[in-house]
Structure 1
Amino acid sequence: MRNDSQPQEQLRTEGIAAIGWDERIGAEAIGRDYPEVKALVREAHPDVTERQVGNWSGQVWLFCTAIEEGDVVVAPVRGTGTIDLGVVSSPAYWDADVPIYGYRRPVEWVELGTRRSMLSEASQRSLKAQLTCYTHRSGDELREIVEARRGVDAARVRALISELVDDACGAGVDSAPYERVRDADDPVRATR
């Protein structure tokens, strides 16, 4: 999920993920199937192109309906080169009291400040999407990191980090910045 205006630190503190849309669609989109969401967006925004309607509808539908409890969410932390990883803990809701980021999902943020450079090339490319909400094509890698972190399985986290470092080094990335990761006392913090 990409949220370019609301600071990720605020979302962490509130324990949520949020995307912005206006009150013309609001709570009506939650729990609806894609064609229904698309009709709501088209009705609320008659002046936009069909392509924009499809794009916006897909993002709202994905956030409000398709994402399920237990799904892993990734939130890039703007300007830091890092991401936060979390697990969706409850259904979506609409908060009419916030000015723009009314669509919200309770999230347990379990891994904060992970360097993007520690991820595989495929994951790094996927994180460059310009959409607010999209499906991450390399989700298995991120799910493994989250599951290892939630289970506080330091050996598993160390193994995953080692694999990521090996992948980065094998791809021709300079390994010097990553060498401390292999020997860190706290392998979870070493990813930050």
Structure 2
Amino acid sequence: MSKWWMVRAGDNNELIPKWQLKQVASIGWADLGDPKQFSSRDKLIDKAHLVYAEEKPGTRLSWAGQVWRFYREIEVNDRVITYSKETREYLIGTVTKIHQYQPDIIDPYYPNVISVSWESKKISRDLLSQGAKNSLGGILTVFRVDDWGQELLGLLGGVTVPKVDDTPEETEAVNYQDFIERAKTMIEDLVDRLDPWQMQDLVAGLLQAMGYQVTVSPKGPDGGVDILAHKDAFGFETPIIKVQVKHRHAASGGPEVQQLLGANPHGASSLFVSTGGFTAAAKASALHNGVKLLDLSGIVELINEWYDKMPVDKQALIPLKRIYVPI
């Protein structure tokens, strides 16, 4: 029976285009060298303790363990899944060749490589059961997700799989960083469910939490500006911020950034919010013109920081409760 593995595509999913082009998956920890040189997992852990001496012991163990599993436990015909935050979709592939240490395939920083035949069809996160969403939201780079293989296969084949409310019983203690990362992913799910007008209100609420007065454009053509934010009640004092909000899965492009720059009021600072992320052209245009870009992950970070100071009606858009986690 083939195993199912979640493999993260870099820190920000930036490796996915290269993975698809080269038909591979890859992970890092290049300082450990080729894991084939180590006769046992313990030997690899000893090397991790040496080269990552500034990290916590638990972190060193985790990193070495993930490299060892990627090297020794992933087999031909195992299934691999990875996640694109920008499109909120999962990619699924089948392992065609086991571990190779090849720093020149993807990037010297990600030298541990397996060959993967990636499916052209992707699975929207919205289609998954809550249990699958929770389990696939872990922070580790490499981990098993066998419990959700049948659900994923069903969705890949276009079959709606009955959703299970309960997640499988955990066999290991949850790392607090993993817990936090899963919580962030669930907040992303809440934000994704908002309609475009609610999304504008959410962004406005975050700006209010930061001490700005806001004016939200009414429904209809906005001329490229959805929100105006300013420090004083009349909008005379600088900085004045003009905000465009695009709430969709598609990435926003360079022309949309230029539209925001050309919109009134001229001379105002520009903030472009896009839950679908940004194209390379949009990022280049924003960098050149001093436009601040904010994607879905950035929105979640701001929610975590400013939620308590948001107006109550804006908090109601994404109801959250603060808890304390032992570290």
In structure 2, the partner of 1:144 is: 153
Q: Deviations over 1:2-47 (max 9, x none)?
A: 122433122111000011222x312135775422321221222223
Alignment equivalent of 1:18, drawn from 26, 29, 36? 26
1:111 Cα deviation from its structure 2 partner? 4.8
Q: CA offsets, 1:120-169, max 9 Å, x none?
A: 222111111111111115243256349xx6xxxxxxx24xx2225xx38x
Structure with the larger helix share: 1
Is the contact between residue 93 and residue 103 of structure 1 (CA under 8 Å) also seen in structure 2? yes
Deviation at 1:92, TM superposition (A): 0.6
Q: TM-score, normalised by structure 1?
A: 0.70
1:95 aligns with 2:102: yes
1:175 corresponding residue in structure 2: none
**1:39: which partner in 2?**
46
In 2: Cα distance, 1:130 partner to 1:39 partner:
23
Question: Is the contact between residue 30 and residue 65 of structure 1 (CA under 8 Å) also seen in structure 2?
Answer: no
Following TM superposition, by how much is the alpha carbon of 1:70 offset from its aligned partner in structure 2, in angstroms? Answer: 1.2
| CA pair 86-102 structure 1, distance change in 2 beyond 3 A | same
Structure 2 length normalisation: TM-score? 0.43
For 1:116-127, list aligned pairs within 5 A.
116-127=125-136
Partner SS for 2:98: coil
* Number of equivalent positions: 156
2:37, 2:132 → 1: CA distance? 29
Q: Is the 8 Å Cα contact of residues 29 and 61 (structure 1) preserved in structure 2?
A: no
Distance 2:154 2:147 in 1: 12
- The code of the aligned residue for 1:16 comes to V
Structure 1 residue runs of 5 or longer lacking an equivalent are 150-156, 169-192
1:2 counterpart residue number? 8
Paired position in structure 1 for 2:121: 112
Given candidates 161, 184, 191, the residue that maps to 1:163 is: 161
Q: Distance in 2 between matches of 1:162 and 1:88?
A: 25
Q: Deviations over 1:166-190 (max 9, x none)?
A: x38xxxxxxxxxxxxxxxxxxxxxx
Q: Work out the CA distance in 2 between the residues paired with 1:115 and 1:33.
A: 39
Return the alpha-carbon distance in structure 2 between the equivalents of residues 138 and 69 of structure 1: 19
Taking structure 1 as reference, are residues 16 and 90 closer, same or farther at Cα in structure 2, changes over 3 Å only? Answer: same
More displaced 10-residue stretch of structure 1: 124-133 or 4-13: 4-13
Question: CA-atom RMSD, angstroms?
Answer: 2.7
1:61 paired with 2:68, answer yes
How far apart are the structure 2 equivalents of 1:136 and 1:142? 11
Which residue of structure 2 lines up, in the alignment, with residue 188 of structure 1?
A: none
Pair 137,70 (structure 1): closer, same or farther in 2 beyond 3 Å: closer
Structure 1 CA distance, aligned partners of 2:76 and 2:39?
16
Which of 66, 69, 73 is the aligned partner of 2:80?
73
